[in-house]
Structure 1
Amino acid sequence: MNLPNKSLSGKLGKAIIYMIITFLGLITLLPLLNIIAISMSGSGAVTANAVGIIPVNFTLEPYRMLVDDPQFWRSFGISILRVVFSLVLNMILIVLMAYPLSKSNSEFKGRKIYMGILIFAMLFNGGMIPTYLVVRNLGLLNSIWSLVLPGAVPVFSVILIMNFFRGIPKSLEEAAIIDGATQMQVLLKIFLPISVPSLATVALFSIVGNWNDFFSGLIYMTRVSNYPLMTYIQSLTIDIQAMIQQGIDSTNLSQLMGVSDRNLNAAKIVVSSIPLILIYPFLQKYFITGIVVGSVKE
Protein backbone atom coordinates (compact mmCIF):
# COMPACT_ATOMS: atom_id res chain seq x y z
CA MET A 1 0.00 0.00 0.00
CA ASN A 2 2.99 2.30 0.55
CA LEU A 3 4.55 1.62 -2.86
CA PRO A 4 2.61 4.38 -4.70
CA ASN A 5 3.69 6.92 -2.09
CA LYS A 6 7.34 5.84 -2.36
CA SER A 7 7.11 5.98 -6.14
CA LEU A 8 5.57 9.46 -5.96
CA SER A 9 8.23 10.70 -3.53
CA GLY A 10 10.96 9.23 -5.73
CA LYS A 11 9.62 10.98 -8.82
CA LEU A 12 9.27 14.22 -6.89
CA GLY A 13 12.87 13.94 -5.69
CA LYS A 14 14.12 13.33 -9.22
CA ALA A 15 12.09 16.27 -10.50
CA ILE A 16 13.64 18.56 -7.87
CA ILE A 17 17.14 17.33 -8.73
CA TYR A 18 16.53 17.93 -12.44
CA MET A 19 15.22 21.42 -11.71
CA ILE A 20 18.32 22.24 -9.64
CA ILE A 21 20.66 20.90 -12.33
CA THR A 22 18.78 22.83 -15.02
CA PHE A 23 18.95 26.00 -12.95
CA LEU A 24 22.69 25.60 -12.38
CA GLY A 25 23.21 24.89 -16.08
CA LEU A 26 21.37 28.08 -17.03
CA ILE A 27 23.48 30.07 -14.57
CA THR A 28 26.67 28.83 -16.21
CA LEU A 29 25.31 29.89 -19.61
CA LEU A 30 24.62 33.47 -18.54
CA PRO A 31 28.25 34.71 -18.80
CA LEU A 32 28.57 33.19 -22.28
CA LEU A 33 25.31 34.77 -23.41
CA ASN A 34 26.47 38.10 -22.00
CA ILE A 35 29.76 37.90 -23.96
CA ILE A 36 27.87 37.08 -27.16
CA ALA A 37 25.48 39.98 -26.55
CA ILE A 38 28.36 42.41 -25.92
CA SER A 39 30.07 41.32 -29.13
CA MET A 40 26.90 42.18 -31.07
CA SER A 41 26.03 45.46 -29.31
CA GLY A 42 26.91 49.05 -30.06
CA SER A 43 29.87 50.60 -28.26
CA GLY A 44 27.68 53.14 -26.44
CA ALA A 45 25.54 50.49 -24.78
CA VAL A 46 28.61 48.43 -23.93
CA THR A 47 30.42 51.38 -22.39
CA ALA A 48 27.32 52.21 -20.33
CA ASN A 49 27.10 48.59 -19.10
CA ALA A 50 23.56 48.42 -20.49
CA VAL A 51 23.99 45.02 -22.16
CA GLY A 52 22.58 41.89 -20.53
CA ILE A 53 21.97 38.72 -22.50
CA ILE A 54 20.24 40.48 -25.41
CA PRO A 55 22.25 42.69 -27.83
CA VAL A 56 21.58 46.43 -27.71
CA ASN A 57 21.96 48.43 -30.94
CA PHE A 58 22.71 45.20 -32.83
CA THR A 59 25.87 45.21 -34.95
CA LEU A 60 28.21 42.62 -36.44
CA GLU A 61 31.01 45.08 -37.09
CA PRO A 62 33.47 43.41 -34.62
CA TYR A 63 33.07 40.11 -36.46
CA ARG A 64 33.44 41.85 -39.82
CA MET A 65 36.70 43.37 -38.62
CA LEU A 66 37.98 39.91 -37.73
CA VAL A 67 36.74 38.01 -40.77
CA ASP A 68 37.72 40.64 -43.37
CA ASP A 69 41.28 40.69 -42.06
CA PRO A 70 43.60 38.45 -44.20
CA GLN A 71 45.95 38.01 -41.25
CA PHE A 72 43.09 36.57 -39.23
CA TRP A 73 42.75 33.66 -41.65
CA ARG A 74 46.51 33.20 -41.90
CA SER A 75 46.75 33.02 -38.11
CA PHE A 76 43.77 30.67 -38.06
CA GLY A 77 45.60 28.33 -40.44
CA ILE A 78 48.77 28.49 -38.32
CA SER A 79 46.77 27.54 -35.22
CA ILE A 80 45.15 24.61 -37.05
CA LEU A 81 48.57 23.33 -38.15
CA ARG A 82 49.92 23.79 -34.66
CA VAL A 83 47.08 21.82 -33.11
CA VAL A 84 47.40 19.00 -35.65
CA PHE A 85 51.20 18.71 -35.39
CA SER A 86 51.14 18.94 -31.60
CA LEU A 87 48.34 16.39 -31.29
CA VAL A 88 50.10 13.81 -33.48
CA LEU A 89 53.47 14.32 -31.80
CA ASN A 90 51.96 14.36 -28.30
CA MET A 91 50.00 11.15 -28.78
CA ILE A 92 52.95 9.25 -30.30
CA LEU A 93 55.40 10.28 -27.59
CA ILE A 94 52.90 9.84 -24.75
CA VAL A 95 52.04 6.28 -25.77
CA LEU A 96 55.65 5.28 -26.48
CA MET A 97 56.72 6.60 -23.06
CA ALA A 98 53.75 5.41 -21.05
CA TYR A 99 53.82 1.80 -22.27
CA PRO A 100 57.31 0.82 -21.04
CA LEU A 101 56.84 2.83 -17.83
CA SER A 102 53.69 0.84 -17.10
CA LYS A 103 55.78 -2.30 -16.73
CA SER A 104 57.05 -3.57 -13.40
CA ASN A 105 60.57 -2.80 -12.16
CA SER A 106 61.65 -6.36 -12.97
CA GLU A 107 60.43 -6.03 -16.58
CA PHE A 108 61.90 -2.58 -17.15
CA LYS A 109 65.23 -2.04 -15.46
CA GLY A 110 65.73 1.56 -14.41
CA ARG A 111 62.04 2.36 -14.42
CA LYS A 112 62.30 4.19 -11.09
CA ILE A 113 65.07 6.40 -12.45
CA TYR A 114 63.01 7.41 -15.48
CA MET A 115 59.95 8.02 -13.31
CA GLY A 116 61.99 10.23 -11.01
CA ILE A 117 63.19 12.27 -13.99
CA LEU A 118 59.64 12.65 -15.31
CA ILE A 119 58.20 13.73 -11.97
CA PHE A 120 61.05 16.21 -11.48
CA ALA A 121 60.42 17.61 -14.97
CA MET A 122 56.71 17.93 -14.20
CA LEU A 123 57.31 19.85 -10.98
CA PHE A 124 60.23 21.99 -12.15
CA ASN A 125 61.18 23.48 -15.50
CA GLY A 126 64.03 25.52 -16.85
CA GLY A 127 61.98 28.70 -17.05
CA MET A 128 61.04 31.02 -19.85
CA ILE A 129 64.47 32.49 -20.61
CA PRO A 130 66.42 29.19 -20.82
CA THR A 131 63.65 27.70 -22.95
CA TYR A 132 63.76 30.72 -25.26
CA LEU A 133 67.54 30.43 -25.58
CA VAL A 134 67.27 26.76 -26.50
CA VAL A 135 64.60 27.48 -29.13
CA ARG A 136 66.64 30.36 -30.53
CA ASN A 137 69.89 28.39 -30.67
CA LEU A 138 68.11 25.58 -32.50
CA GLY A 139 67.02 28.11 -35.14
CA LEU A 140 63.32 27.59 -34.49
CA LEU A 141 62.26 31.22 -34.01
CA ASN A 142 59.45 32.29 -36.36
CA SER A 143 58.83 28.61 -37.11
CA ILE A 144 55.74 26.58 -36.25
CA TRP A 145 58.04 24.06 -34.57
CA SER A 146 58.83 26.63 -31.89
CA LEU A 147 55.15 26.31 -30.92
CA VAL A 148 55.11 22.51 -31.11
CA LEU A 149 58.41 21.07 -29.83
CA PRO A 150 58.65 22.77 -26.38
CA GLY A 151 55.45 21.02 -25.33
CA ALA A 152 56.00 17.77 -27.22
CA VAL A 153 56.04 15.61 -24.06
CA PRO A 154 53.30 16.61 -21.58
CA VAL A 155 54.48 14.72 -18.50
CA PHE A 156 51.11 14.81 -16.75
CA SER A 157 49.49 13.10 -19.74
CA VAL A 158 52.27 10.49 -19.80
CA ILE A 159 51.61 9.64 -16.15
CA LEU A 160 47.86 9.57 -16.77
CA ILE A 161 48.16 7.07 -19.64
CA MET A 162 50.80 5.07 -17.78
CA ASN A 163 48.47 4.58 -14.83
CA PHE A 164 45.68 3.53 -17.18
CA PHE A 165 47.98 0.97 -18.83
CA ARG A 166 48.94 -0.36 -15.40
CA GLY A 167 45.27 -0.95 -14.64
CA ILE A 168 44.79 -3.21 -17.66
CA PRO A 169 44.65 -6.87 -16.54
CA LYS A 170 47.98 -8.60 -16.97
CA SER A 171 46.13 -11.64 -18.31
CA LEU A 172 45.42 -9.85 -21.59
CA GLU A 173 49.09 -9.22 -22.27
CA GLU A 174 50.18 -12.70 -21.16
CA ALA A 175 47.58 -14.37 -23.39
CA ALA A 176 48.72 -12.33 -26.39
CA ILE A 177 52.39 -13.10 -25.77
CA ILE A 178 51.62 -16.83 -25.47
CA ASP A 179 49.93 -16.59 -28.88
CA GLY A 180 53.16 -15.15 -30.29
CA ALA A 181 52.45 -11.41 -30.22
CA THR A 182 55.34 -8.98 -29.90
CA GLN A 183 55.35 -6.06 -27.46
CA MET A 184 54.48 -3.67 -30.31
CA GLN A 185 51.55 -5.85 -31.32
CA VAL A 186 50.37 -5.98 -27.71
CA LEU A 187 50.50 -2.19 -27.57
CA LEU A 188 48.76 -1.59 -30.90
CA LYS A 189 46.13 -4.34 -30.81
CA ILE A 190 45.30 -4.62 -27.11
CA PHE A 191 46.37 -1.61 -25.07
CA LEU A 192 45.43 1.17 -27.50
CA PRO A 193 41.88 -0.05 -28.34
CA ILE A 194 41.14 -0.50 -24.64
CA SER A 195 42.61 2.91 -23.79
CA VAL A 196 40.47 4.98 -26.19
CA PRO A 197 38.70 6.89 -23.35
CA SER A 198 41.98 7.95 -21.73
CA LEU A 199 43.60 8.73 -25.07
CA ALA A 200 40.59 10.87 -26.05
CA THR A 201 40.88 12.80 -22.78
CA VAL A 202 44.59 13.41 -23.31
CA ALA A 203 43.91 14.42 -26.91
CA LEU A 204 41.39 17.00 -25.71
CA PHE A 205 43.97 18.36 -23.25
CA SER A 206 46.42 18.76 -26.13
CA ILE A 207 43.90 20.41 -28.46
CA VAL A 208 42.58 22.88 -25.87
CA GLY A 209 46.04 23.72 -24.53
CA ASN A 210 47.59 24.39 -27.93
CA TRP A 211 44.56 26.24 -29.29
CA ASN A 212 44.24 28.59 -26.32
CA ASP A 213 47.96 29.30 -25.85
CA PHE A 214 48.84 32.83 -26.96
CA PHE A 215 51.98 33.51 -24.91
CA SER A 216 54.24 31.20 -26.92
CA GLY A 217 53.47 33.18 -30.06
CA LEU A 218 54.52 36.41 -28.36
CA ILE A 219 57.82 34.87 -27.25
CA TYR A 220 58.90 32.89 -30.30
CA MET A 221 57.42 34.96 -33.13
CA THR A 222 58.94 38.31 -34.06
CA ARG A 223 56.66 38.90 -37.06
CA VAL A 224 52.91 39.34 -36.86
CA SER A 225 52.51 37.25 -40.02
CA ASN A 226 53.68 34.21 -38.02
CA TYR A 227 51.33 34.70 -35.07
CA PRO A 228 48.93 31.87 -34.19
CA LEU A 229 45.30 32.90 -33.88
CA MET A 230 45.19 33.42 -30.12
CA THR A 231 48.30 35.59 -30.20
CA TYR A 232 46.99 37.64 -33.09
CA ILE A 233 43.54 38.38 -31.72
CA GLN A 234 45.10 39.15 -28.35
CA SER A 235 47.13 41.89 -30.04
CA LEU A 236 44.16 43.42 -31.89
CA THR A 237 42.99 46.84 -30.72
CA ILE A 238 40.99 49.62 -32.26
CA ASP A 239 43.14 52.67 -32.89
CA ILE A 240 40.94 55.24 -34.62
CA GLN A 241 43.71 57.84 -34.87
CA ALA A 242 46.05 55.42 -36.61
CA MET A 243 43.31 54.40 -39.04
CA ILE A 244 42.62 58.05 -39.91
CA GLN A 245 46.33 58.58 -40.60
CA GLN A 246 46.29 55.52 -42.87
CA GLY A 247 43.52 57.12 -44.93
CA ILE A 248 40.48 55.08 -43.95
CA ASP A 249 37.36 56.13 -45.86
CA SER A 250 34.47 57.88 -44.12
CA THR A 251 32.03 54.95 -44.48
CA ASN A 252 34.31 52.48 -42.72
CA LEU A 253 35.26 55.12 -40.17
CA SER A 254 31.63 55.69 -39.20
CA GLN A 255 31.17 51.96 -38.78
CA LEU A 256 34.28 51.64 -36.62
CA MET A 257 33.12 54.49 -34.39
CA GLY A 258 30.38 52.13 -33.21
CA VAL A 259 32.92 49.51 -32.08
CA SER A 260 35.04 49.57 -28.94
CA ASP A 261 37.79 47.32 -27.59
CA ARG A 262 35.21 45.63 -25.37
CA ASN A 263 33.15 44.68 -28.44
CA LEU A 264 36.23 43.41 -30.20
CA ASN A 265 37.46 41.48 -27.16
CA ALA A 266 34.06 39.83 -26.79
CA ALA A 267 34.10 38.87 -30.47
CA LYS A 268 37.59 37.40 -29.98
CA ILE A 269 36.31 35.19 -27.17
CA VAL A 270 33.35 33.98 -29.21
CA VAL A 271 35.37 33.26 -32.35
CA SER A 272 38.16 31.49 -30.49
CA SER A 273 35.65 29.28 -28.66
CA ILE A 274 33.83 28.01 -31.76
CA PRO A 275 36.39 25.33 -32.83
CA LEU A 276 36.53 23.86 -29.32
CA ILE A 277 32.73 23.84 -29.08
CA LEU A 278 32.61 21.93 -32.38
CA ILE A 279 35.28 19.40 -31.35
CA TYR A 280 34.10 18.63 -27.83
CA PRO A 281 30.91 16.70 -28.74
CA PHE A 282 32.98 14.19 -30.71
CA LEU A 283 35.30 13.49 -27.76
CA GLN A 284 33.01 13.77 -24.73
CA LYS A 285 31.41 10.37 -25.44
CA TYR A 286 34.75 8.73 -24.61
CA PHE A 287 34.87 10.23 -21.13
CA ILE A 288 33.95 7.00 -19.44
CA THR A 289 35.69 4.81 -16.92
CA GLY A 290 35.86 1.16 -16.12
CA ILE A 291 35.97 -0.06 -19.71
CA VAL A 292 38.35 -2.86 -18.70
CA VAL A 293 36.24 -4.08 -15.77
CA GLY A 294 35.02 -7.59 -16.45
CA SER A 295 37.02 -8.03 -19.66
CA VAL A 296 38.94 -10.89 -18.06
CA LYS A 297 37.63 -13.20 -15.41
CA GLU A 298 40.28 -14.04 -12.84
Structure 2
Amino acid sequence: MKQFTGFKGRTGLALIYTIIVLLALICLLPLWNIVAISFSSNQAVTANAVGLWPVDFTTAPYQKIMADTQFWRSFGLSVLRVGLTLVLNMFVIILMAYPLSKSKKQFKGRNFYMNLLIFAMLFNGGMIPTYLVVKNLDLLNTVWALVLPAAVPIFSIILVMNFFAGVPKALEEAAVIDGANQFTVLLRIFIPVSLPSLATVALFSIVGSWNDFFNGLIYMTKVSEYPLMTYIQTLSVDIADIIKSGGNAQDLANATEVSNRNLNAAKIVVAVIPLLLIYPALQKYFITGIVVGSVKE
Protein backbone atom coordinates (compact mmCIF):
# COMPACT_ATOMS: atom_id res chain seq x y z
CA MET A 1 0.00 0.00 0.00
CA LYS A 2 2.15 2.81 -1.34
CA GLN A 3 -0.11 5.56 -0.08
CA PHE A 4 0.84 4.67 3.53
CA THR A 5 4.63 4.65 3.04
CA GLY A 6 6.79 7.44 4.36
CA PHE A 7 6.23 9.70 7.35
CA LYS A 8 3.04 11.33 6.03
CA GLY A 9 1.55 7.99 5.03
CA ARG A 10 2.24 6.40 8.43
CA THR A 11 0.90 9.49 10.19
CA GLY A 12 -2.31 9.35 8.16
CA LEU A 13 -2.71 5.62 8.86
CA ALA A 14 -2.19 6.19 12.59
CA LEU A 15 -4.79 8.98 12.51
CA ILE A 16 -7.30 6.68 10.78
CA TYR A 17 -6.77 3.92 13.34
CA THR A 18 -7.08 6.43 16.18
CA ILE A 19 -10.42 7.68 14.86
CA ILE A 20 -11.67 4.10 14.43
CA VAL A 21 -10.65 3.19 17.99
CA LEU A 22 -12.32 6.32 19.40
CA LEU A 23 -15.55 5.59 17.51
CA ALA A 24 -15.45 2.00 18.77
CA LEU A 25 -15.01 3.19 22.36
CA ILE A 26 -17.88 5.66 21.99
CA CYS A 27 -20.12 2.74 20.99
CA LEU A 28 -18.79 0.13 23.44
CA LEU A 29 -18.24 2.08 26.67
CA PRO A 30 -21.96 2.88 27.28
CA LEU A 31 -22.80 -0.79 26.75
CA TRP A 32 -20.02 -1.85 29.09
CA ASN A 33 -21.32 0.60 31.68
CA ILE A 34 -24.77 -1.05 31.43
CA VAL A 35 -23.17 -4.45 32.06
CA ALA A 36 -21.32 -3.03 35.09
CA ILE A 37 -24.53 -1.51 36.46
CA SER A 38 -26.36 -4.83 36.09
CA PHE A 39 -23.77 -6.52 38.35
CA SER A 40 -23.60 -3.72 40.94
CA SER A 41 -25.47 -3.34 44.21
CA ASN A 42 -28.51 -1.14 44.64
CA GLN A 43 -26.63 1.28 46.88
CA ALA A 44 -23.77 1.76 44.41
CA VAL A 45 -26.14 2.30 41.49
CA THR A 46 -28.26 4.78 43.44
CA ALA A 47 -25.12 6.73 44.41
CA ASN A 48 -23.96 6.83 40.76
CA ALA A 49 -20.71 5.17 41.84
CA VAL A 50 -20.59 2.65 38.99
CA GLY A 51 -18.23 3.32 36.12
CA LEU A 52 -16.72 0.64 33.93
CA TRP A 53 -16.47 -1.99 36.66
CA PRO A 54 -19.14 -3.40 39.00
CA VAL A 55 -19.24 -2.01 42.54
CA ASP A 56 -20.21 -4.45 45.33
CA PHE A 57 -20.60 -7.27 42.81
CA THR A 58 -24.00 -8.99 42.90
CA THR A 59 -26.10 -11.17 40.63
CA ALA A 60 -29.38 -10.28 42.37
CA PRO A 61 -30.94 -8.62 39.26
CA TYR A 62 -30.27 -11.72 37.18
CA GLN A 63 -31.53 -13.98 39.96
CA LYS A 64 -34.76 -12.00 40.05
CA ILE A 65 -35.17 -12.44 36.30
CA MET A 66 -34.10 -16.08 36.08
CA ALA A 67 -35.99 -17.34 39.13
CA ASP A 68 -39.33 -16.49 37.55
CA THR A 69 -40.91 -19.42 35.67
CA GLN A 70 -42.79 -16.95 33.47
CA PHE A 71 -39.42 -15.67 32.25
CA TRP A 72 -38.59 -19.07 30.77
CA ARG A 73 -42.07 -19.46 29.29
CA SER A 74 -41.75 -16.03 27.65
CA PHE A 75 -38.26 -16.94 26.46
CA GLY A 76 -39.62 -20.07 24.77
CA LEU A 77 -42.46 -18.09 23.18
CA SER A 78 -39.96 -15.56 21.80
CA VAL A 79 -37.79 -18.33 20.35
CA LEU A 80 -40.89 -19.87 18.72
CA ARG A 81 -41.93 -16.47 17.42
CA VAL A 82 -38.51 -15.76 15.94
CA GLY A 83 -38.39 -19.18 14.29
CA LEU A 84 -41.85 -18.93 12.73
CA THR A 85 -41.30 -15.34 11.62
CA LEU A 86 -37.94 -16.17 10.06
CA VAL A 87 -39.27 -19.15 8.09
CA LEU A 88 -42.35 -17.25 6.90
CA ASN A 89 -40.36 -14.11 6.04
CA MET A 90 -37.74 -15.97 4.02
CA PHE A 91 -40.41 -17.96 2.16
CA VAL A 92 -42.33 -14.80 1.21
CA ILE A 93 -39.22 -12.73 0.45
CA ILE A 94 -37.69 -15.27 -1.93
CA LEU A 95 -40.90 -16.11 -3.78
CA MET A 96 -41.81 -12.43 -4.22
CA ALA A 97 -38.35 -11.04 -4.95
CA TYR A 98 -37.55 -13.55 -7.70
CA PRO A 99 -40.36 -12.69 -10.15
CA LEU A 100 -40.08 -8.98 -9.35
CA SER A 101 -36.41 -9.07 -10.31
CA LYS A 102 -37.34 -10.01 -13.88
CA SER A 103 -37.82 -7.52 -16.67
CA LYS A 104 -41.21 -6.21 -17.75
CA LYS A 105 -41.14 -8.51 -20.79
CA GLN A 106 -40.57 -11.61 -18.65
CA PHE A 107 -43.17 -10.65 -16.02
CA LYS A 108 -45.86 -8.43 -17.49
CA GLY A 109 -47.51 -7.60 -14.17
CA ARG A 110 -44.26 -6.58 -12.53
CA ASN A 111 -44.87 -2.82 -12.40
CA PHE A 112 -48.35 -3.24 -10.94
CA TYR A 113 -47.17 -5.47 -8.10
CA MET A 114 -44.11 -3.32 -7.51
CA ASN A 115 -46.23 -0.17 -7.19
CA LEU A 116 -48.60 -2.05 -4.90
CA LEU A 117 -45.73 -3.01 -2.59
CA ILE A 118 -44.34 0.52 -2.49
CA PHE A 119 -47.79 1.93 -1.75
CA ALA A 120 -48.28 -0.58 1.08
CA MET A 121 -44.85 0.29 2.49
CA LEU A 122 -45.63 4.02 2.53
CA PHE A 123 -49.28 3.82 3.61
CA ASN A 124 -50.23 1.02 6.01
CA GLY A 125 -53.57 0.38 7.71
CA GLY A 126 -52.44 1.58 11.13
CA MET A 127 -52.56 0.06 14.57
CA ILE A 128 -56.33 0.01 15.19
CA PRO A 129 -57.40 -1.57 11.85
CA THR A 130 -54.63 -4.16 12.22
CA TYR A 131 -55.78 -4.96 15.75
CA LEU A 132 -59.39 -5.37 14.58
CA VAL A 133 -58.29 -7.75 11.83
CA VAL A 134 -56.26 -9.84 14.28
CA LYS A 135 -59.14 -9.86 16.76
CA ASN A 136 -61.76 -10.84 14.18
CA LEU A 137 -59.54 -13.74 13.07
CA ASP A 138 -59.44 -14.97 16.71
CA LEU A 139 -55.67 -14.67 16.84
CA LEU A 140 -55.41 -12.74 20.12
CA ASN A 141 -53.27 -14.48 22.75
CA THR A 142 -51.70 -16.73 20.11
CA VAL A 143 -48.22 -16.65 18.64
CA TRP A 144 -49.73 -16.07 15.19
CA ALA A 145 -50.87 -12.61 16.27
CA LEU A 146 -47.16 -11.75 16.54
CA VAL A 147 -46.08 -13.57 13.37
CA LEU A 148 -48.67 -12.92 10.66
CA PRO A 149 -48.77 -9.07 10.80
CA ALA A 150 -45.04 -9.10 10.01
CA ALA A 151 -45.25 -11.80 7.33
CA VAL A 152 -44.48 -9.50 4.37
CA PRO A 153 -41.38 -7.37 5.02
CA ILE A 154 -41.53 -5.10 1.98
CA PHE A 155 -38.17 -3.41 2.53
CA SER A 156 -36.46 -6.81 2.66
CA ILE A 157 -38.28 -7.92 -0.49
CA ILE A 158 -37.00 -4.87 -2.37
CA LEU A 159 -33.48 -5.45 -1.05
CA VAL A 160 -33.38 -9.08 -2.20
CA MET A 161 -35.10 -8.18 -5.48
CA ASN A 162 -32.31 -5.75 -6.31
CA PHE A 163 -29.73 -8.39 -5.42
CA PHE A 164 -31.46 -10.97 -7.64
CA ALA A 165 -31.52 -8.42 -10.47
CA GLY A 166 -27.74 -8.12 -10.21
CA VAL A 167 -27.10 -11.84 -10.68
CA PRO A 168 -25.29 -12.35 -14.02
CA LYS A 169 -27.77 -13.28 -16.74
CA ALA A 170 -25.29 -15.79 -18.17
CA LEU A 171 -25.86 -18.06 -15.17
CA GLU A 172 -29.61 -18.19 -15.75
CA GLU A 173 -29.25 -18.58 -19.53
CA ALA A 174 -26.82 -21.49 -19.14
CA ALA A 175 -29.23 -23.24 -16.75
CA VAL A 176 -32.19 -22.73 -19.10
CA ILE A 177 -30.18 -24.15 -22.01
CA ASP A 178 -29.49 -27.23 -19.86
CA GLY A 179 -33.24 -27.67 -19.39
CA ALA A 180 -33.75 -26.10 -15.96
CA ASN A 181 -37.15 -24.62 -15.12
CA GLN A 182 -37.71 -21.45 -13.09
CA PHE A 183 -37.86 -23.23 -9.73
CA THR A 184 -34.61 -25.05 -10.48
CA VAL A 185 -32.95 -21.77 -11.49
CA LEU A 186 -34.17 -20.17 -8.26
CA LEU A 187 -33.06 -23.04 -6.00
CA ARG A 188 -29.79 -23.94 -7.70
CA ILE A 189 -28.51 -20.54 -8.83
CA PHE A 190 -30.21 -17.48 -7.36
CA ILE A 191 -30.46 -18.62 -3.74
CA PRO A 192 -26.85 -19.93 -3.47
CA VAL A 193 -25.29 -16.82 -5.04
CA SER A 194 -27.55 -14.51 -2.99
CA LEU A 195 -26.68 -15.85 0.46
CA PRO A 196 -25.15 -12.52 1.61
CA SER A 197 -28.38 -10.68 0.86
CA LEU A 198 -30.55 -13.45 2.35
CA ALA A 199 -28.39 -13.52 5.49
CA THR A 200 -28.86 -9.76 5.85
CA VAL A 201 -32.65 -9.89 5.65
CA ALA A 202 -32.66 -12.95 7.93
CA LEU A 203 -30.79 -10.90 10.52
CA PHE A 204 -33.32 -8.08 10.09
CA SER A 205 -36.13 -10.57 10.73
CA ILE A 206 -34.47 -12.11 13.79
CA VAL A 207 -33.54 -8.81 15.43
CA GLY A 208 -36.89 -7.18 14.66
CA SER A 209 -39.04 -10.03 15.99
CA TRP A 210 -36.81 -10.64 19.02
CA ASN A 211 -36.64 -7.00 20.15
CA ASP A 212 -40.30 -6.16 19.52
CA PHE A 213 -42.29 -5.76 22.73
CA PHE A 214 -45.11 -3.41 21.69
CA ASN A 215 -47.07 -5.99 19.69
CA GLY A 216 -47.05 -8.25 22.72
CA LEU A 217 -48.75 -5.53 24.74
CA ILE A 218 -51.37 -5.02 22.01
CA TYR A 219 -52.25 -8.57 21.04
CA MET A 220 -51.70 -10.41 24.33
CA THR A 221 -54.17 -9.88 27.17
CA LYS A 222 -52.62 -12.60 29.35
CA VAL A 223 -49.21 -12.21 30.97
CA SER A 224 -48.64 -15.94 30.43
CA GLU A 225 -48.64 -15.31 26.66
CA TYR A 226 -46.19 -12.40 26.70
CA PRO A 227 -43.04 -12.77 24.56
CA LEU A 228 -39.77 -12.17 26.38
CA MET A 229 -39.27 -8.50 25.49
CA THR A 230 -42.83 -7.67 26.54
CA TYR A 231 -42.53 -9.59 29.79
CA ILE A 232 -39.25 -8.09 30.96
CA GLN A 233 -40.72 -4.62 30.39
CA THR A 234 -43.21 -5.47 33.14
CA LEU A 235 -40.56 -6.50 35.67
CA SER A 236 -39.97 -3.91 38.37
CA VAL A 237 -39.04 -3.63 42.01
CA ASP A 238 -41.90 -2.48 44.23
CA ILE A 239 -41.31 -2.96 47.96
CA ALA A 240 -44.81 -1.73 48.76
CA ASP A 241 -46.29 -4.61 46.77
CA ILE A 242 -44.08 -7.09 48.62
CA ILE A 243 -45.31 -5.79 51.97
CA LYS A 244 -48.96 -5.86 50.85
CA SER A 245 -48.60 -9.43 49.62
CA GLY A 246 -47.27 -10.52 53.01
CA GLY A 247 -43.65 -10.95 52.00
CA ASN A 248 -41.24 -12.07 54.72
CA ALA A 249 -38.00 -10.44 55.84
CA GLN A 250 -35.96 -12.43 53.32
CA ASP A 251 -38.12 -11.18 50.46
CA LEU A 252 -37.63 -7.59 51.62
CA ALA A 253 -33.88 -8.13 51.98
CA ASN A 254 -33.67 -9.51 48.44
CA ALA A 255 -35.73 -6.59 47.12
CA THR A 256 -33.38 -4.02 48.65
CA GLU A 257 -30.48 -5.55 46.71
CA VAL A 258 -32.15 -4.63 43.42
CA SER A 259 -33.33 -1.30 42.06
CA ASN A 260 -35.25 -0.64 38.88
CA ARG A 261 -32.10 0.84 37.38
CA ASN A 262 -29.85 -2.22 37.69
CA LEU A 263 -32.81 -4.47 36.93
CA ASN A 264 -33.35 -2.58 33.67
CA ALA A 265 -29.63 -2.94 32.90
CA ALA A 266 -29.91 -6.68 33.44
CA LYS A 267 -32.91 -6.76 31.09
CA ILE A 268 -30.81 -5.15 28.36
CA VAL A 269 -27.99 -7.65 28.85
CA VAL A 270 -30.35 -10.63 28.78
CA ALA A 271 -32.03 -9.30 25.64
CA VAL A 272 -28.74 -8.77 23.79
CA ILE A 273 -27.08 -12.14 24.57
CA PRO A 274 -29.09 -14.25 22.03
CA LEU A 275 -28.37 -11.71 19.28
CA LEU A 276 -24.66 -11.77 20.11
CA LEU A 277 -24.73 -15.55 19.70
CA ILE A 278 -26.52 -15.40 16.34
CA TYR A 279 -24.56 -12.59 14.68
CA PRO A 280 -21.18 -14.44 14.40
CA ALA A 281 -22.92 -17.24 12.48
CA LEU A 282 -24.16 -14.74 9.86
CA GLN A 283 -21.17 -12.40 9.86
CA LYS A 284 -19.23 -14.27 7.17
CA TYR A 285 -21.96 -13.53 4.64
CA PHE A 286 -21.52 -9.77 5.15
CA ILE A 287 -17.82 -9.85 4.27
CA THR A 288 -17.96 -10.81 0.63
CA GLY A 289 -20.54 -11.77 -1.98
CA ILE A 290 -20.55 -15.09 -3.76
CA VAL A 291 -21.58 -13.42 -7.02
CA VAL A 292 -18.33 -11.49 -7.37
CA GLY A 293 -16.14 -13.25 -9.90
CA SER A 294 -18.64 -16.04 -10.60
CA VAL A 295 -18.89 -15.08 -14.28
CA LYS A 296 -16.50 -12.98 -16.32
CA GLU A 297 -18.55 -10.82 -18.69
Q: More displaced, 254-263 or 145-154? A: 254-263
Deviation of 1:292 (Å): 1.9
Deviation of 1:240 (Å): 1.1
Aligned to 2:34: 35
* Letter paired with 1:37: A
Aligned to 2:139: 140
d(CA) in 2 for partners of 1:27 and 1:121?
Answer: 37
Q: Structure 2: which 5+ runs fail to align?
A: none
* Letter paired with 2:187: L
CA contact (8 A) 2:193 2:289 kept: no
d(CA) in 1 for partners of 2:157 and 2:104?
Answer: 17
* Letter paired with 2:113: Y
d(CA) in 2 for partners of 1:294 and 1:258?
Answer: 59
Deviation of 1:293 (Å): 3.1
Deviation of 1:247 (Å): 2.5
d(CA) in 1 for partners of 2:54 and 2:266?
Answer: 13
Deviations 1:125-165 (A, max 9, x none): 00000000000001100000000000001000000000000
Deviation of 1:289 (Å): 4.9
* Letter paired with 2:252: L
Deviations 1:41-99 (A, max 9, x none): 12222222221111122211110000000000000000000000000000011000000
Stretches of 4+ aligned residues off by more than 3 angstroms = 5-13, 288-291
Aligned to 2:173: 174
Which residues in structure 2 correspond to 1:1-298 (within 5 Å)?
6-7=5-6, 9-298=8-297
* Letter paired with 2:171: L
d(CA) in 2 for partners of 1:94 and 1:83?
Answer: 16
d(CA) in 1 for partners of 2:149 and 2:119?
Answer: 16
Q: Structure 1: which 5+ runs fail to align?
A: none
d(CA) in 2 for partners of 1:37 and 1:288?
Answer: 32
SS of the aligned residue for 1:85 comes to helix
SS of the aligned residue for 1:287 comes to helix
With structure 2 as the length reference, what TM-score do the two structures score? 0.95
Q: More displaced, 20-29 or 173-182? A: 20-29
d(CA) in 2 for partners of 1:163 and 1:26?
Answer: 35
CA contact (8 A) 2:196 2:289 kept: no
Q: More displaced, 243-252 or 62-71? A: 243-252
d(CA) in 1 for partners of 2:142 and 2:69?
Answer: 19
d(CA) in 2 for partners of 1:82 and 1:35?
Answer: 27
CA contact (8 A) 2:242 2:251 kept: no
With structure 1 as the length reference, what TM-score do the two structures score? 0.95
* Letter paired with 1:224: V
Deviation of 1:179 (Å): 0.3
SS of the aligned residue for 1:285 comes to helix
d(CA) in 1 for partners of 2:279 and 2:288?
Answer: 18
Aligned residues: 295
Deviation of 1:195 (Å): 0.2
Deviation of 1:169 (Å): 1.1
* Letter paired with 2:262: N
d(CA) in 1 for partners of 2:168 and 2:64?
Answer: 55
